[in-house]
Amino acid sequence: MPTPAPPSDTAAPARLDVVNLTASYHGRPAVADVDLAIEPRQVTALIGPSGSGKSTLLRCLNGLHLTVPGASVTGSVLLDDADIYAKDSNPVEIRQRVGMVFQRPTPFPTMSVRDNVLAGLHLGRRLGRGPHDDLAEQALTKAGLWPEVKDRLKAPGGSLSGGQQQRLCIARALAVDPEILLMDEPCSHLDPISTLTIEDLIREIKETYTVVIVTHNMQQAARVADTTAFLTMPAVGEPGRLVEVGPTERIFSTPRQQTTEDYISGKIG
């Protein structure tokens, strides 16, 4: 067994550059012509109305989009200047470097809390058999879950509360030591207190990771994001487009585009 890459606090966060990206399902573009630079050690929020392609764009950033039947991509996503859609790029390696947390907490139902945290390392064959409690503790500590579950490591992952399950999923994503963490509306199924816990967590992990978060909650974008990108579609059924991107404060105080202002002030969406 190769020696595991231990989760470290010195992992170099990567940058992402989206260049002229169009993502389609069965030939119908869901989001089109996106150019976006995602800076390391920052939180970038993608906001916009339903159907504007925020989630699709996010799923293009780690190649997960292409695992859906009928999905296709044109343009490129540069992960530290290497196109993840190049012919010779290895999708499994990309997904190890760009982790993801989903809308619904998805603990693996047949696994314990500890096995859930270590799942990516075990199944990715980056770790031999063994308890590896130290790695599990590090990841759970980063996700702020360690004090709550340290006596329940052997309990099924599904036995935790919703908010705990979501932090378990964050711990699981961090355990494989990604450079970038994508979050697809990670709080939309959680209560306000769990939401605040996770927002605190996002502010903490951006010290060491690059974070991209999709949210339909503008207050959340304002609370956690350094940079905000606004997407919308000209009409229902047409692909979403990137309208405006900039520092979060400026986007919310003095948007340059009329549609951005309309959305932020609640006139559309």
Q: Does 241 bind other proteins (CB under 8 A)?
A: no
- Residue 152 binds other proteins (CB under 8 A): no
User: x/- binding map, residues 220-239, to other proteins, per CB under 8 A?
Assistant: --------------------
Residue 100 found at the interface with other proteins (CB under 8 A): yes
Between helix 133-142 and helix 113-123 the angle, nearest 10°, is: 110
The pair of three-digit structure tokens given for residue 97, joined into one six-digit string: 């470097």
Question: How far apart are alpha carbons 63 and 85 in whole angstroms?
Answer: 8
With CB under 8 A as the rule, give the number of residues binding other proteins. Answer: 34
Using the minimum distance from each CB to other proteins, give the nearer residue, 7 or 120: 120
We find the least distance from the C-beta atom of residue 107 to other proteins, in angstroms, to be 9
Judged by CB under 8 A, does residue 156 bind other proteins? yes
Spatial separation of the C-alpha atoms in residues 16 and 63, rounded to whole Å: 13
By CB under 8 A, residue 1 contacts other proteins: no
Residue 92 lies near other proteins (rule: CB under 8 A): yes
Residue 188, number of CB atoms within 10 A of its CB: 14
For residue 99, state whether it binds other proteins (rule: CB under 8 A): yes
Indicate whether 155 belongs to the interface with other proteins (CB under 8 A). yes
Q: Which is nearer to other proteins, 112 or 138 (CB)?
A: 112
Residue 54 as a binder of other proteins (CB under 8 A): the answer is no
Structure tokens at 38: 């995602």
Window contacting other proteins (CB under 8 A); options: 27-35, 49-57, 172-180, 196-204: 172-180
The answer to whether 180 contacts other proteins (rule: CB under 8 A) is no
Does 176 sit near other proteins (CB under 8 A)? yes
Beta 82-83 vs 71-79: how paired, if at all? antiparallel
Q: Is 110 in the site for other proteins (CB under 8 A)?
A: yes
| Contact status: 173 vs other proteins (CB under 8 A) | yes
Pick from 35, 74, 104, 134: which binds other proteins (CB under 8 A)? 104
Residues near other proteins (CB under 8 A): 62, 64, 67, 69, 92-97, 99-100, 102, 104, 106, 108-112, 115, 119-120, 122-125, 154-156, 169, 172-173, 176
